Structure formats: structure tokens, C-alpha cells
Structure 1
Amino acid sequence: MAPAARRTASSRTRTISLTDSPTPYRDAFARLDPARRLRALTGVDEDLLARVGYERSRYTALGGVVLGTSVIAAFSMWNFATEALGRVSLLAVIPTVIWMLFILNLDRWLVTPQPNARRRVGPLLLRLLIALVLGAVVAEPLVLRIFATAVEERVTGERIADLDRLRGNLLRCNPVPSATQTSSPAGCGRYVLSFGATPGGQSDELATLRTESDALQKRVDRDNDTLDTLGNEVRNECRRLIRIASTGLYSRTSECLRLRAKEKDYRTTHRTGENERRLAAMHGRIAAMEGRLTTSRGTFLKARAAGIERRLAKERAKQKEIGVLERMGALDGLAGKNTVLFAGIWLVRALFVLLDALPVLVKFLSGESAYDRMLTSESNSAVKIHGEQVRLTERRAMADIEIAQEAIEQEVRRSRAESEAAHRELVATVNIRLRKAVNGLEQELRNASGV
């Protein structure tokens, strides 16, 4: 082979070996693969999935659905947090990130392939129920955001109506006092304002003075009418003159003189002049008191207006921002009055609930895949292998226990034999010593007898 051909073949061999053999660079690239990252959100085993590579696209798409659901949940939490805080703040990022990670991990747990899943209906229904409830929770802030304009208009109108009702109750429960003792209308316990001074006493005095003035006015009018009648009679009678026969002069009639005396007597007995002076004085006092009362009422009205404005300002301070519960109540109120809006709200809610439950629906409504069957087979095989390993371990442990028991029993038998042998040796030694002692004693007795 020519050197050029050998170099070409060797370079091709090196290229193939670099391409086919795993390297740290290829492992790092595989870990950074976006599709692999998406599949990680479904909880699949890449080594097992590699055996059915044609299903990778399916789990990649499912991972995208899980990621999209978590992004929608994060947007929902962002809206909820900003509405709760009343403004856009960086503090809203904290619950948004936490909620996104929670939904991401929860959806990952819901769609993670489980062995023998088709045989267990209970866990499937439980997962679907969790997904639907979670979707309802996530959907509500998004629905509030979509209908934010109508909700804010309704809340603003309700707040204005509440302020108007409060103003009306404050005006009704704090009328201008017309007497010293005044009683508040019914249901005014928390609407009564406190004032330093009220025109009630002056009103009472003015009312009394007006009553007395009206009574005196009637009396004066009655006396004046009587005097007018008497005056007319005097004038009519005094127009006539009679001629005195003795003197030939003309003079008033005696009836004229009598009527004049009667008129004078009436003025004296009924004190018409004094009554008129008293009435004029009363009118002067009434005019003065009315002026003071008008000033006092003006002061009272200003104090009442200031007190009402303070209460309204305090109520407005409580209505700084529109809360979440207030928005939800306003949205329900709008839905109850408009059938089209009611249908639109629930369609939007159903849409977001469906979107949030989509990972579980896609997973469990797409049918059992080859990966699921392989996972079930491997799981069952692993269970069997584990059972055999447990039984083998149990047998080994029982064998070790039996061997240990046999060794202990042998040790006991050996110790017992050694103990018996030692006892026999001791008995023999004692017997030998005894015989030696007896023999020695016999010898001494013989020696003593021979002597």
C-alpha cells in the first residue's frame, strides 16, 4: 500500500474512533443538550430511553409542556404578588420563583413514568384531581388580570357608593340640633360625631321665646281689633253733635263720651301699650337670637363638614389599593349581572385549568408507550432480583447462624470432656495419695509392732 493511502486510511480510522468513542467533551455536550434538559423534566431514564430512541421526541415535547405550565404558573403568581403588594416590586420575584419551581417539580412528579401505572386507577385519578385543583388555583389570578379593567371600574364604583352611603349616614345621624336634648336616629351607633358645642340650647330658648311672642302677638292683635272696633264706634258716634237748648251751642253726645271712656278704660285694663312694647322687645330679642343662632349653626355646619371629611379621609385611606379578595368579589358581581361576561369568565378559567392540567392529560391520555412497558419490565425484574437477593442473603445468614451454633455446641462438648477428664485426673491423684498415706501408716504400724 502506498504511503499516501496508508495516511488516508489511518486518518479515517482516527476520525471514526474520535466520533464513535465517548469523550468528556461529548458527555458535557450531551448534558447541555436542550432536548435532554426538557426530557429531564419528565423524569425519564436516558439510558433506558436510548433503547427506544424514536420516543425521545415524545418525551421532549412533554417536557416542553411541563416547562410551559410552570411559566404560566409563574406569571400567575407574579400577578397575584403585585396585586397583593399594590405595586410592581422586586419582592414579587421571590414568591414567583418559588411557585414556579414548586409547580415544575409537582408536574414532574405527576408525569414521571410509573411502572404498572395502567393497572392502578386510583393514583391516576388522584393525579388528575391534583392537576385540576392546581389549575384552578393558578387560573384565578390570570382571569383577574384579563378582566382587570372591568374589575377596577366596578371596585371604584363600589368604593364611591360606599363613601356616598357613609356621607349620607353621617349627615342623617348628625342633624343640626333643634333642642337641648336630641336623640340620634336608629342605627346611628358608629356614625355619631362629637362636637364641642351645638346650637341646641339656643334653639330651645328661641323656640320658647317665639312661642311666648306668638301668644303675646295674638293677644295684642285681639286687643287691637277690639280697640279698632271701639275706635270706629267712637268716631261714628262722635261725628254727631247735639244742640244745647240753654246755650245754643253744639256738643258731643253722652254716648260718645261713654264710648271714649270705654276705649280708654280698655287700654288701661288690657295694658295694650305695655304689651306692644313687650312684643317689640321680644321681636328685638328674637332677631338678635336668630343672628346668634345663624352664626352658631354655621359654626356647627363647618365642624360637621370637617368631621365628615375626616371620616371620609380615614375611609379613603383604607381603600388605597384594590386587594385580591376585593377583585374576586367584584368579578363574581360582574359575572352575576351579565350572562355573556359570566360565560366568558368561566371559559377563560376552563382554558387555564386545562392548560395547567395539560401535562397530566398528555401523559395519561396518550397511551402506554414502549418506554413504559420497558420500565414496567425492568421494575418487575428488579423486584424479582431483589427478592432472590433477599432470600439468598437470608439463606447465607441462616447458614452462618447454623455454623455458629454448631461451633458453639462443639465447644461446649469439648469443654465438658475436658472438665470430666480433669475431674478423673483429680480423683486418681487423690486416690494415689490416699494409698500412699495408708501404706505409710501400715509400715509405721509394722515397725512399731516388731519393736
Structure 2
Amino acid sequence: MTDSAASAEPSPGRFDLARRLRTLTGVDEDLLARVRYERNKYTALGGVVLGTAVIAAFSMWNFATEALGRASFLALIPTVIWMLFILNLDRWLVTPQPNARRRVGPLLLRLMIALVLGAVIAEPLVLRIFATAVEERIADHRNNALDQLRGNLVRCNPVPDGTEVKPVAGCGRYVLTFGSTPGGQSDELASIRSDAAALQKRVDQDNDKLDDIDEEVRDECRRLIRVASTGLFQRTSECLRLRETAKDYRATHHTEENERRLEAMNDRISEIGGQLTTSRGSFLQERAKGVEQRLAKERAKQKEIGVLERMRALDELAGGNPVLFVGIWLVRVLFVLLDALPVLVKFLGGESAYDRMLTSESNSAVKIHSERLRLAERRAMADTEIAQDAIEQEVRRSRAESEAAHREHTAAMHIRVRQAVNSLEEELRRTSSV
């Protein structure tokens, strides 16, 4: 390293912010020292990586607080984890790679990952920017839902007109349970009214008939005839007959009894009507209480606004307002580009001298490693050949020693045979001479 390069190095123990920022880009400081003029570029790139991680942390803080429904220290846990994850992921994405310009696949993959992460990070920020409109939309939806629920509860729980209440279509989960209903009194009232109407009709018919008979009696009984023997006036026999007819009609048709029964029925109708009015009032109060309880449960469910509910409300707002739709998507694209900025800056800025040096050093290291492997392979092969030669020489020596020993044994055997033959010949000659 030259003297100027050495002088540019920070002194030990000194905090170097620029060096820390360059660490976020994954560069080799020793190699970068050879092209010192590119330090500013990688320092700025490290600042972009750090800024993206801070934006991601703010986005996760918004997401966590919306999920919890309040600001809490618990939201710091996912915020810090998400920030570190994005920081390391962006560091991996922008870390210089040798021969990167020759491989399009990894470049496209990194850009795609950056854009997807940008979309994920951008959504909570967009929700935060349009929070007021989103919350108003959600409040309107919730009020409409409560009004619809109230209407369904009232529609599905009408005041019963009898003991047998026909179920209303589509009211399975809207039916309330009541301790007592005015249905039985309604049946009794309807029955008495029906009987009273029939009896009233009969009484009216009988009274009309009696009125006709009484009219005839009055007309006939106005006439008087003189009795020849006494010279006095008396009513006609027809008058007497009509009076008996009217008396028989009242007796056979029970007109007085029917009128008393009708009066008793009307009294009972008035009594049941009063009781039914009171019972219906109690039923309406109990129904109102049940409706309010259901509405209270529904309001308890609507206490916190969830993230999915906010996203749905934002989409509805964007769908109904073209200007708002364009504004929302502009903000989304802005945050996506900001989150993908480190990768875009790195891979759209062109190949730098550091990248070329890194490629050269990488290729050189690969060649050196390959040569070292070949040298180690040749050395291993030579050691193997030497070992093989030593083994072959040992085999040949052992084989020669074995053959020599075999020849010595054969020669010894021959000598012993000749000695035995000679001894036998000598013994035969001695025997023959005797």
C-alpha cells in the first residue's frame, strides 16, 4: 500500500462513520483502498441501504401499532427484527459480485426481490398517509353494518300474532330468545272475537226477525173489535197469535241468553285486549333489550381496526375516486422505488473499477486455486507412483528370494538322492563280492 493510501486509513480506535456505512455495502476495504476515488460512491450507497432499513422499520412500526390497536413497547420487537432483516437483505443484494455483468439471471432475481419487498414495506406507509379517510370509511361501514343488524333483528323477531310463529326467511342467526310472548293471548283473543262475531251475526239476525214480528204485533194489536154479546172492544185473535209467535221465537232462539253471552264475550275481549297491550309492551321492551345486547357484542368486535380492514377500505376509496386512486398508486410506487433504491443504484450505475478489480481478483484466485489443486494432484500422483514402484520392487525381491530358496532346496534334494544312490550301489557291490 502506498503512503497516500496509508494516510487515508483511519487511526485505530477512531470511529469512522463512512467506513461503517461502506460495511453495509459488503465491500472489501483493502481492495477498495486501491481505488480510493470510489469510496464516496460506496459510502453513499451504504447510506441508501441504511435509509431503506429505517423506512422499513417505520413501516413495521405502523403495521405493529395498527395490529395492536395502540402504541406499545411490544411493537419495538418486530420493528427491530424487521429493520435488521431488511438491512442484511439489502446488504446481500448490493454486495459486489464478481462477473456480475455476465449473469443476467441473478441480477433480475435481485431486482424482483427488491421490488416485492418494496411493495410489502410501502403498504403500511400508504395506510398511514391516508389514515383519516380510511378510518372515516371504516366508521361508515360499521355504522351501516350496525343499522342493518338492527333492522334484521327487528324484522326477524316480530310481535307474534299466535302461538305458532312462522320462521322468516334468512333469519337463522338473527332470531332472539324470549321468556314469554303474547302469542297465546293473541290466539285466545282471535278465537273469542271470531265467536263473538258469529254470535253477533246470529243475534242481529234474531233481533231483525223479532223487530219484524213486533212490528206486525203492533200493527195488528192496534185494531180492536166489538164483542156482540158484551159490547166491549177487544184485540183480535191474530194479535194474540203474533204475540205468542214472538214469545216462542224468543224462547226457541235464546235471544236474551245470546245477548248476555255476547256481552260477556265483549267484556272478555276488552280484558284480553288490555292484557295483550301490556304483554306486547313487555315483549317490545325485551326485544329492544336483546337487540341492544347483540349490537353491544358487535360493537365490541369492532373495537379495533385491523390491517386487512384498512386495506379493504383503502381499495374501496380508490375504486370510487379516480383522483384518489392515482394519488394512492403514486405514493405506492414512490415507496416501492425508495425501498428498491439500493439495488437500482447498485446495478443501474454501471460497472465500477472496484467491480472489475473484484472480478479480476476473483478470477485470479480461481486460477491460483485451480493450479494449486493441479499441483497437489500431481504431487499426490507422484507419491502414489513412487509407492507403487517401491511395492513392485519389494514384490520382485520377494519373488527372487523365493525362487532362489526353491533352487537351493531342489539342489539339496538332488544331492541327497545321489548320496542315497551311491550308498546303495556301494552296498550292492559289497554284497556281491562276499
Q: TM-score, normalised by structure 2?
A: 0.89
What residue is the counterpart of 2:38 in the other structure? 55
Aligned mate of 1:124, from 107, 114, 131: 107
Q: Distance in 2 between matches of 1:348 and 1:245?
A: 127
What residue is the counterpart of 1:39 in the other structure? 22
What residue is the counterpart of 2:293 in the other structure? 310
Q: For 1:259-298, list aligned pairs within 5 A.
A: 260-298=243-281
Aligned mate of 2:353, from 365, 370, 378: 370
Shift of 1:196: 3.5
Q: Distance in 1 between matches of 2:217 and 2:332?
A: 101
Aligned mate of 1:163, from 134, 138, 146: 146
Shift of 1:251: 5.7
Q: Distance in 2 between matches of 1:221 and 1:63?
A: 106
Q: Distance in 2 between matches of 1:150 and 1:242?
A: 105
Shift of 1:56: 0.7
What residue is the counterpart of 2:327 in the other structure? 344
What residue is the counterpart of 2:408 in the other structure? 425
Shift of 1:257: 5.2
Residue 329, structure 1, aligned to residue 329, structure 2: no
Relative to structure 1, is the Cα distance of residues 415 and 400 closer, same or farther in structure 2, using a 3 angstrom cutoff?
A: same
Shift of 1:259: 5.1
Relative to structure 1, is the Cα distance of residues 304 and 134 closer, same or farther in structure 2, using a 3 angstrom cutoff?
A: same
CA contact (8 A) 1:114 1:372 kept: yes
Q: Distance in 2 between matches of 1:21 and 1:65?
A: 27
Which amino acid in the other structure matches residue 381 of structure 1? Answer: S
What residue is the counterpart of 2:386 in the other structure? 403
Q: Distance in 1 between matches of 2:217 and 2:142?
A: 77
Which amino acid in the other structure matches residue 307 of structure 1? Answer: G
Q: Distance in 2 between matches of 1:108 and 1:299?
A: 71
Aligned mate of 1:109, from 92, 98, 103: 92
Which amino acid in the other structure matches residue 50 of structure 1? Answer: A
Q: Distance in 2 between matches of 1:333 and 1:243?
A: 106
Shift of 1:178: 1.3
Q: Distance in 2 between matches of 1:57 and 1:63?
A: 10
Q: Distance in 1 between matches of 2:314 and 2:120?
A: 16
Greater shift in the superposed pair: 46-55 or 281-290: 281-290
Q: For 1:39-188, list aligned pairs within 5 A.
A: 39-188=22-171
The SS at the match of 1:26 is coil
Greater shift in the superposed pair: 406-415 or 283-292: 283-292
Q: Distance in 1 between matches of 2:11 and 2:431?
A: 115
Relative to structure 1, is the Cα distance of residues 379 and 444 closer, same or farther in structure 2, using a 3 angstrom cutoff?
A: same
Gap regions ≥5 residues in structure 2:
none
Greater shift in the superposed pair: 385-394 or 230-239: 230-239
Shift of 1:324: 1.4
Q: Distance in 2 between matches of 1:373 and 1:120?
A: 14
What residue is the counterpart of 2:13 in the other structure? 28
Shift of 1:123: 1.5
Q: Distance in 1 between matches of 2:217 and 2:133?
A: 87
Listed one character per residue, the Cα deviations across residues 399-430 of structure 1 (whole Å, up to 9, x for unaligned) are 22211111111111111122222223333344
Shift of 1:303: 3.3
What residue is the counterpart of 1:299 in the other structure? 282
Greater shift in the superposed pair: 294-303 or 376-385: 294-303
Q: TM-score, normalised by structure 1?
A: 0.86
Q: Distance in 2 between matches of 1:171 and 1:374?
A: 79
The SS at the match of 1:27 is coil
Q: Distance in 2 between matches of 1:241 and 1:22?
A: 155
Q: Distance in 2 between matches of 1:436 and 1:447?
A: 16
The SS at the match of 1:320 is coil
The SS at the match of 2:13 is helix
What residue is the counterpart of 1:355 in the other structure? 338
Shift of 1:107: 0.8
Shift of 1:351: 0.9
Greater shift in the superposed pair: 268-277 or 437-446: 437-446
Q: Distance in 2 between matches of 1:310 and 1:274?
A: 53
Q: Distance in 2 between matches of 1:240 and 1:122?
A: 131
Greater shift in the superposed pair: 175-184 or 40-49: 175-184
Which amino acid in the other structure matches residue 274 of structure 2? Answer: G
Q: Give the number of equivalent residue pairs.
A: 431
What residue is the counterpart of 2:366 in the other structure? 383
Which amino acid in the other structure matches residue 79 of structure 1? Answer: N
Q: Distance in 2 between matches of 1:426 and 1:26?
A: 87
CA contact (8 A) 1:174 1:184 kept: no
Relative to structure 1, is the Cα distance of residues 21 and 329 closer, same or farther in structure 2, using a 3 angstrom cutoff?
A: closer
Gap regions ≥5 residues in structure 1:
1-16
The SS at the match of 1:87 is coil
Q: Distance in 1 between matches of 2:242 and 2:365?
A: 142
Q: Distance in 2 between matches of 1:405 and 1:114?
A: 45
Which amino acid in the other structure matches residue 260 of structure 2? Answer: R
Q: Distance in 1 between matches of 2:219 and 2:141?
A: 79
Which amino acid in the other structure matches residue 110 of structure 1? Answer: L
Greater shift in the superposed pair: 368-377 or 243-252: 243-252
